[in-house]
């Protein structure tokens, strides 16, 4: 079709296809500049499907170290809140606007019990009850008829969690494997802010192909010595075989990445859990040394919507000799707006540094405040994103019984902590002449994953040794 007023050769214009979104060579004029967003799985204000779903889980809302002698203004799921620790040690997460006449409680005075509004002195306990209305006449019952908006909250290992859903549906508090094992695990809380929607931040973990390019191939420092100068170990620069599998009745998924490292196959698996949690195996893994089911975690992380166009990553970094025997991590570099792995995780670098050595922060925020999926042209490596989006959609539509907030709460009651699937295995399985090595890696990856899932039915005390025994047998058979 010839476009009006076009002086371009007819072939160039004919190559454009507005229906497919392909504008053709030099066809920028036809390229779409905006498209609708996928509101169902990006918007989290109260009353939205996803917002109501997310509210039924405990969410980190701030670092415990940010609770000082003045209240902390926070915004979570589009709600303006204030967090504080009262003088009795109780943590409060209250609506920021005072129930009396709307002054912000960020200017309040922290009390023995709760917080006192600076405007007329009303005092609210951490559960929102009005403890006093000092300007009212003696005997006034006004305080008994009002409650400040309040959410249950607690501190755990340096993070403050709140539950913002219907009180009757409050789930149990989940435990995390890395808190019990290894016993000397050092747990360091952190938070990183990104001015963009939560989904593009979270689904980045389902997009494992980006590690090959963004973190290795595209960011080689020309001044670095051989083998250095990339954000991740060079082994991450090998394009892996990739598979994504739904887990636990649709309440999560894993990616399975297989890489050939000489005579070995490195199988890496990471967990993504609804609604917004990821658990990461060793961040500095290089796939060089043999290992079988190294399930020591480096990090647990939540992509918490501040609102629809801002996200706060909260998490725990884990430090111990099992997960990081070479001590490549650095606990002193983790905390508020700082993290010890990869460049470009936080937004406080000079712009040009981000251009020369871009990281996750640059690519995620540059997708726009809410990335429009309609403008994407996905390839085979993007299948994991689509699985994740499908999981979220099915969960909030009630189409996956195992992914409802009630089902996940019930799973937590039965199995707390949930055994993680995240792990690295580096198996001695040389390539075979005449055999499709990519296919072999896929099969080994899938078998490793199946063994781990089978172990859900094994006594927790025997789980790890069962899995290792089975993977060892797999290695033996596959290398014979």
* Chain residues 108-147 in contact with ligand FES, contact rule CB under 6 A: 117, 119-122
Determine the interface stretch with ligand FES among 95-103, 233-241, 291-299, 425-433 (rule: CB under 6 A). 95-103
Cβ atoms of residues 94 and 105 within 8 Å:
yes
177 lies in the binding site for Fe ion (CB under 5 A): no
- 96 sits near ligand FES (criterion: CB under 6 A): no
Query: Rounded distance, CA 194 to CA 24, Å?
Result: 34
In terms of CB distance, is 49 or 300 closer to Fe ion? 300
By beta-carbon proximity to Fe ion, the closer residue of 74 and 364 is 364
Establish if 103 lies at the interface with ligand FES (CB under 6 A).
Answer: yes
DSSP string, 229-255: SSSS-GGGGSPPEEEEEEEGGGTEEEE
Would you mind telling me the total number of residues written for the chain in this entry?
Answer: 480
Q: Does residue 207 touch Fe ion according to CB under 5 A? A: no
From ligand FES, Fe ion, none, interface partner of 360 (C-beta below 5 to 8 A by class): Fe ion
User: What, of Fe ion, ligand FES, none, does residue 120 touch, CB below 5 to 8 Å by kind?
Assistant: ligand FES
With binding defined as CB under 6 A, does residue 98 bind ligand FES? Answer: yes
Which of 312, 345 has the CB closer to Fe ion?
345
> Of the two residues 144 and 406, which places its CB atom closer to ligand FES in the complex?
144
Instruction: Return the half-sphere exposure (C-beta side, CA atoms, 13 A cut-off) of residue 442.
Output: 10
Q: Which residue has the tokens 């009180």?
A: 167
Q: Is 360 in the site for Fe ion (CB under 5 A)?
A: yes
Q: Which does 119 bind (CB under 5 to 8 A by kind): ligand FES, Fe ion, none?
A: ligand FES
Cα–Cα distance between 16 and 25 in angstroms, integer?
A: 8
Distance from C-alpha of 2 to C-alpha of 18, rounded to nearest angstrom: 12
Q: How many CB atoms lie within 10 A of CB 470?
A: 20
- Minimum CB distance to ligand FES, residue 100 (Å): 3
Neighbouring residues of 105: CB distance < 8 A, sequence distance ≥ 6:
71, 82, 94, 95, 96, 97, 98, 115, 117, 124, 148
CB-nearer residue toward Fe ion: 203 or 360: 360
> Quick one: angle between helices 437-454 and 460-479, nearest 10?
160
Residue 1 CB, nearest approach to Fe ion (Å): 41
The contact set with Fe ion (CB under 5 A) reads 360
The contact set with ligand FES (CB under 6 A) reads 98, 100-103, 117, 119-122
């Amino acid at each position: 079709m010839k476009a009006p007023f076009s002086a371009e050769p007819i072939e160039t214009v004919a190559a454009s296809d507005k229906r497919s979104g392909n504008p053709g060579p030099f066809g920028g004029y036809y390229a779409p500049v905006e498209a609708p967003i996928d509101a169902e799985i990006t918007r989290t204000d109260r009353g939205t499907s996803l917002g109501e779903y997310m509210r039924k889980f405990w969410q980190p809302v701030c670092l415990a170290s940010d609770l000082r002698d003045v209240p902390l203004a926070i915004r979570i799921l589009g709600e303006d809140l204030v967090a504080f620790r009262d003088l009795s040690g109780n943590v409060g997460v209250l609506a920021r606007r005072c129930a009396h006449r709307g002054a912000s409680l960020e200017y309040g005075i922290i009390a023995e019990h709760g917080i006192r509004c600076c405007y007329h002195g009303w005092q609210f306990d951490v559960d929102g009850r009005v403890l006093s209305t000092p300007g009212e006449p003696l005997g006034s019952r006004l305080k008994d008829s009002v409650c400040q908006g309040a959410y249950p909250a607690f501190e755990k290992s340096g993070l403050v969690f709140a539950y913002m859903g219907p009180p009757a549906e409050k789930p149990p508090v989940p435990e995390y494997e890395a808190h019990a094992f290894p016993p000397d695990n050092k747990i360091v809380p952190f938070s990183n802010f990104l001015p963009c929607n939560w989904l593009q931040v979270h689904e980045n973990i389902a997009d494992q192909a980006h590690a090959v390019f963004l973190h290795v191939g595209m960011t080689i420092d020309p001044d670095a010595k051989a083998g250095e100068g990339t954000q991740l170990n060079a082994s991450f620069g090998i394009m892996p075989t990739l598979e994504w599998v739904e887990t636990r009745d649709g309440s999560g998924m894993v990616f399975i990445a297989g890489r050939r490292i000489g005579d070995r196959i490195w199988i890496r698996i990471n967990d993504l859990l609804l609604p917004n949690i990821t658990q990461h195996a060793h961040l500095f893994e290089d796939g060089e040394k043999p290992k079988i089911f190294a399930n020591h975690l480096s990090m647990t992380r939540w992509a918490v919507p501040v609102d629809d166009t801002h996200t706060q990553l909260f998490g725990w970094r884990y430090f111990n000799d099992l997960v990081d025997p070479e001590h490549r991590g650095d606990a002193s570099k983790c905390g508020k707006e700082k993290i010890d792995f990869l460049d470009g995780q936080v937004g406080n670098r000079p712009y040009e540094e981000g251009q020369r050595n871009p990281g996750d922060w640059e690519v995620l925020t540059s997708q726009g405040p809410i990335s429009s999926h309609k403008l994407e042209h996905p390839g085979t490596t993007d299948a994991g994103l689509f699985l994740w989006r499908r999981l979220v959609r099915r969960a909030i539509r009630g189409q996956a019984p195992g992914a409802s907030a009630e089902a996940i709460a019930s799973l937590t009651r039965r199995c707390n902590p949930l055994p993680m699937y995240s792990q690295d295995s580096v198996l001695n399985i040389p390539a075979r002449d005449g055999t499709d090595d990519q296919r072999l890696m896929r099969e080994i990856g899938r078998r490793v994953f199946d063994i781990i899932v089978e172990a859900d039915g094994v006594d927790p005390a025997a789980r790890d040794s069962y899995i290792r025994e089975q993977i060892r047998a797999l290695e033996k058979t596959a290398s014979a």
